[in-house]
Amino acid sequence: MPGLILFRHGKSDWDADYPGGDAARPLARRGRKAAKTMGRFLARAGQVPDAAITSPAVRAHDTLRLAMDAGGWSCPVRTADPLHGGGVAELLAEVRNEPATTDVLLAVGHEPTWSEAASAFIGGGEVRLPTAALARIDFDVDGWDEVGPGTGVLVWSVVPRLLAGRA
């Protein structure tokens, strides 16, 4: 049963001088702190992924790097251009391409896609992922290529403020 952890990037710094457009926008101090908190949470909760995919945006890539460093864990990482600016269909295509050897995949990306994807994967409802939030969805399928809308169950969702002072 494949499991997907959706990880929305940490709070970005809208006031920073970042030549290069939206993809170059960095994390704010709050976003860096939250990324570290969530990385420690994954380690302490025994939820370290087998692999990760990330948007090429600086804020997404840095969220993943900070989480891994703070949590003391690592996994193979690939960057997927469609995760920056793409929608649920692009995320689904990336997930379906994951090798069968991956049991738990972590995907780092953006709104509104992450909340929309969580809702779609569990077959409806409204799931909201604020900055640096994590949501784990387990799929009742045999392989990643069978993942689709309504095939998942929301196992847990955690926001950084719930862990303030704990992780």
Tokens of 5: 């952890």
Q: For residues 67 and 41, what is the distance between their CA atoms, to the nearest angstrom?
A: 9
Query: Of the candidates 5, 15, 82, which has an alpha carbon nearest to the alpha carbon of residue 42?
Result: 5
Average pLDDT over residues 153-164: 94
pTM (predicted TM-score): 0.95
Confidence band of 147 (pLDDT split at 50, 70, 90):
very high
Average pLDDT over residues 33-55: 98
**What DSSP letter does each residue of 50-79 carry, written as one string?**
SEEEE-SSHHHHHHHHHHHHHHT----EEE
pLDDT of res. 16: 75
pLDDT of res. 119: 98
Average pLDDT over residues 135-145: 97
For residue 142, what are the CA distances in angstroms to 48, 57, 118, 154? 21, 31, 19, 17
pLDDT of res. 17: 74
| CATH class held by domain 3-163 | alpha beta
* pLDDT over 90, % of the chain: 88
Q: For residues 81 and 50, what is the distance between their CA atoms, to the nearest angstrom?
A: 20
With a cut of 60, say whether residue 167 has pLDDT above it.
Answer: no
pLDDT single digits (tens) 83-100: 999 999 999 999 999 999
77 close to 62: Cβ distance less than 8 angstroms: no
The gap between the terminal CA atoms of the chain, to the nearest Å, is 28
With a cut of 60, say whether residue 166 has pLDDT above it.
Answer: no
With a cut of 60, say whether residue 158 has pLDDT above it.
Answer: yes
Average pLDDT over residues 124-129: 94
